[in-house]
Structure 1
Amino acid sequence: MLSLVIAYLGTNILYQGRIHNEIRNILVSNGEKVIEIYHSTESENLVPFLEAFSGTAQTRLQLFNKKGVPLLKDEMEIDKKYIESVIAGETVDNIQAGMKSYPFVGIPFQHGGESYALFLTVEENSVEDEIMNSIHLMYVIILFLGSLLIIIAARFVVIPLIRLTEATKKMAQGDFKIELSTKRKDEIGVLSASFNEMAHELSKLDQMRQEFVANVSHEIQSPLTSISGFSKALKQKNLSEEDRTRYLTIIEEESERLSRLGRNLLRLSHLQHDQHRLNITSFRLDEQLRNVVIGLEPQWSEKDLTLHIQLDPITVEADEDQLKQVWTNLINNSIKFTPVQGAIGVKAEVKNQLITVSIVDNGSGIPEEERKDIFKPFHKIDKSRDSSIKGNGLGLSIVKQIVDLHHGDIEVREGPEGGAKFTVTLPLTNSRA
């Protein structure tokens, strides 16, 4: 509304300024023509001559002598200071100073050795007045309609923003189950859709956080319960040496389980919060994979597994220790879930400046509906909830974080023989951090 008022006033000022200049030029020109015509006719009847011209071309005339007395019939009231200035030989007007009644121009006029003041003004025109009134009415209508439309448009924009603000306050209080309904396709609609997407993602993150806390509590509580129970059993005096050794072994295993859980949680937190800086070096990836397989020989030999190794000579720039953790976790998982006398394949090759490492087994596999969640912390598929299989569901989450830090990708599919096939894709070089 303020902009419309300013536009209205500015337009008026510009319009009036141009009109005033035009009126002044016309009056001065008409006055000079009257004087020129009078001198060319050499008429001695000055007053009748000017009376005859008054009213022509919509211009009224008035002539004042040096005493300030009007000589024509036209009733034109002129301030004495203007008359004196014109008698003194100046051309004056009241247009630039602001018109209180009507615009006029005063021109000095010499006749018979006497000085006169000839004043000219425009004759009132009802048509022009009507046009000006129409223009002013049009300005008022534009101002009113424009203000009304701006208010409507502002409400159209502000109401969704108010709803968005209220939804943001609810979200700040922990309520993520919010959805803004909108069918708009403009920027407000895009903002609402983005807010809904953000609320959905935050809701998922909050649910993951709750599940994470519950899983951590469960993973900690289970070994603590075992440690507490068997510690109390050790207090029995009539306990046999065999049972005592078995109880101590269980306590030791559960303590190691807690220790692994703590280390993995710290590692995962370290990786997720981008606090880890990669130590980039150049090394032979194929040799690293062979060393990992050799290091896990006790595990796969115990289950009489067959390993098929197919490794191209590959030199990579990456964090050697972190990638070793990736291959150790993936191959160790395959060993865990592959049945006795099963088979595991490890293959590495380079295509289009990308390294592809695949680890495939013929174990129990991973259901398709659970593959998208397999890299979430503490996620375990139903078939893996076997107490005989050690693990806390953090290994694949750590693998995923390390691969992401190397600007790579990891995916899981069904293997050729029904097991699981993990494929890791990495660039040949990584920026040093």
Structure 2
Amino acid sequence: MENSLLSNGEQIIQTYRSSVGTELIPFMNNVSSISIYAIQLFDASGKPLLEDKSEPVVPDAERIRHVLAGTVVRDIENDGRYPMVGLPFPVDGKPYALFVMLKSNELWMQSNKEVSTELLTVFLVGSFLILAATRFIVKPLLRLRDAAGSLAQGNFDVKIRTNRKDEIGQLNASFNEMAQELAKLDRMRREFVANVSHEIQSPLTSISGFAKAMKQKRMSEESRMYYLTIIEEESERLSRISQNLLRLSSLQHDPYSVHSTAFRLDEQLRKVVIALEPQWSGKEIAVELDLKPVTVHADEDQLSQVWMNLLGNGIKFTPVRGRICIRSYTEGRSAVVCIMDNGIGIPEDQRTDIFKPFHKTDKARDRAVSGSGLGLSIVKQIVDMHEGEIRADEESGGGSVFTVKLPIRKGL
């Protein structure tokens, strides 16, 4: 800024010297009135010569003496105002001191006020918008916090309603899905506890009742043996429920306990059929085998449990002189086993529920047919551990078809 002032001061001096016959004071007054600079001219005595119409240019006497002595002066203290410079200005052998300072621009000052006002307005409006946006973001998070607290207290029916499609909306949707899954798990847990209590209470009631009946002194030997037989059967049933519960719990808590080996699946199926021969031959059931050679890498003991349970169910619900067909074949990279019977069948609306613990179809609730409803749950757990699939369908002409599809080698 000072360099610019010096350059313009020199130009004023040069302009006057090039104007022949021009009087100094009127010339400088005219320059001061039309220039963007405030100027003042001092004579040898330090007296100001120009009219002070706008900006007073008042340097200290020391500075004036330096300029009159022929020295260019800058860095003049000006009470915080714009910079000021002093230039020596000799005219006709007489020394003068010309001081130049930038005028305060009223338009600039007004614009500065307007800009300051606008900035303040933007700041206030922006602050309000930020607060509104913060509330818009924080409010659903507070609702989510309250819902999470309610969920922690066991209220799984909580649901957050939102129409937002942004990340918070997605978070709310994920929370609702989690709440639904937890509600489903809680419902399954309650049903499981109720079913376990029912299945255990039933044989215990029978055992307790017949044990009390045997306390009667007047009882025939035939009745006593009958009661003892029932107590023995109910005790065995209670033992099977306990064993199946322990096995199902073990499979669920250790899903990686699969010890894979290579073995012939068709040979394993033949061994299972032979092991269950007393059951199907006792009901004069015709067992048909259509087993193609299939080698799989799986846990042989666990898969043996699968076939024992499925074939045992088939025998249990197939009438006397019925028919059971077992097929095995390969399909791509999978081994497929189908066990078909012409028994009571499974209603279509219950084919997905039969794999839940303690689920029994209405047709299977005959007390003459023993079972705890855990066998198919164990089967489903083992098949899932082998990354396989199992489904139940209806056989043409009645009966059931259980289809198990397993990868020939786990992971493929």
TM-score scaled to structure 2, two decimals?
0.85
**Equivalent in 136, 141, 149 of residue 116 of structure 2:** 136
- The correspondence of residues 156-235 of structure 1 with structure 2, limited to 5 A, is 156-235=136-215
Partners of 2:274 and 2:383 lie apart in 1 by 22
Aligned twin of 2:335: 355
Whether contact under 8 Å (2:248, 2:377) holds in the other structure is: yes
Partners of 1:351 and 1:357 lie apart in 2 by 10
- SS of residue paired to 2:329: strand
Aligned twin of 2:56: 75
Partners of 1:40 and 1:361 lie apart in 2 by 121
Whether contact under 8 Å (2:87, 2:99) holds in the other structure is: no
Aligned twin of 1:34: 9
- The correspondence of residues 236-315 of structure 1 with structure 2, limited to 5 A, is 236-274=216-254, 276-315=256-295
Does residue 60 of structure 1 match 2:2? no
Partners of 1:397 and 1:66 lie apart in 2 by 116
Q: What is the aligned-residue identity percentage?
A: 51
**Equivalent in 393, 418, 428 of residue 373 of structure 2:** 393
Aligned twin of 2:397: 417
Unaligned runs of 5+ in 2: none
* Cα offsets for 1:109-158 (capped at 9, x unmatched): 35569999865443233332332222222222222322233333333333
Whether contact under 8 Å (2:342, 2:400) holds in the other structure is: yes
Partners of 1:291 and 1:82 lie apart in 2 by 120
1:32, CA displacement in angstroms? Answer: 1.5
Partners of 1:53 and 1:266 lie apart in 2 by 108
Whether contact under 8 Å (1:109, 1:115) holds in the other structure is: no
1:168, CA displacement in angstroms? Answer: 1.7
* Cα offsets for 1:323-363 (capped at 9, x unmatched): 11111111111111111111111111111211221111111
Aligned twin of 1:109: 87
1:231, CA displacement in angstroms? Answer: 2.3
Amino acid at match of 1:34: G
Partners of 1:84 and 1:297 lie apart in 2 by 132
1:47, CA displacement in angstroms? Answer: 7.4
- SS of residue paired to 2:392: strand
Partners of 1:386 and 1:324 lie apart in 2 by 27
- SS of residue paired to 2:298: strand
Partners of 1:59 and 1:232 lie apart in 2 by 123
After superposition, the Cα gap between the structure-2 partners of 1:372 and 1:67, relative to the gap in structure 1 and judged at 3 Å, is farther
1:406, CA displacement in angstroms? Answer: 0.9
Amino acid at match of 1:213: V
- SS of residue paired to 2:351: helix
Amino acid at match of 1:153: A
Bigger CA drift: 361-370 or 180-189? 180-189
Bigger CA drift: 236-245 or 173-182? 236-245
1:385, CA displacement in angstroms? Answer: 0.5
* Cα offsets for 1:2-27 (capped at 9, x unmatched): xxxxxxxxxxxxxxxxxxxxxx3xx5
1:301, CA displacement in angstroms? Answer: 0.8
Does residue 127 of structure 1 match 2:117? no
Whether contact under 8 Å (2:6, 2:87) holds in the other structure is: no
After superposition, the Cα gap between the structure-2 partners of 1:228 and 1:49, relative to the gap in structure 1 and judged at 3 Å, is same
Bigger CA drift: 421-430 or 145-154? 145-154
After superposition, the Cα gap between the structure-2 partners of 1:224 and 1:79, relative to the gap in structure 1 and judged at 3 Å, is farther
Bigger CA drift: 151-160 or 219-228? 151-160
Partners of 1:80 and 1:335 lie apart in 2 by 125
Partners of 1:357 and 1:238 lie apart in 2 by 56
TM-score scaled to structure 1, two decimals?
0.81
* Cα offsets for 1:65-87 (capped at 9, x unmatched): 99998776451356899999999
* Cα offsets for 1:410-430 (capped at 9, x unmatched): 111111222111111111112
Unaligned runs of 5+ in 1: 1-23
Alignment root-mean-square deviation, CA: 3.4
Partners of 1:377 and 1:217 lie apart in 2 by 13
Which structure: larger Rg? 2
* Cα offsets for 1:216-255 (capped at 9, x unmatched): 1111111111222222333334433333333222222222
Amino acid at match of 1:217: S
- The correspondence of residues 364-375 of structure 1 with structure 2, limited to 5 A, is 364-375=344-355
Whether contact under 8 Å (2:9, 2:100) holds in the other structure is: no
After superposition, the Cα gap between the structure-2 partners of 1:368 and 1:90, relative to the gap in structure 1 and judged at 3 Å, is farther
Amino acid at match of 1:54: S
Aligned twin of 2:130: 150
Aligned twin of 1:327: 307
Partners of 2:208 and 2:322 lie apart in 1 by 38
* Cα offsets for 1:251-272 (capped at 9, x unmatched): 2222221111111111111222
Whether contact under 8 Å (2:5, 2:84) holds in the other structure is: no
Partners of 2:281 and 2:122 lie apart in 1 by 90
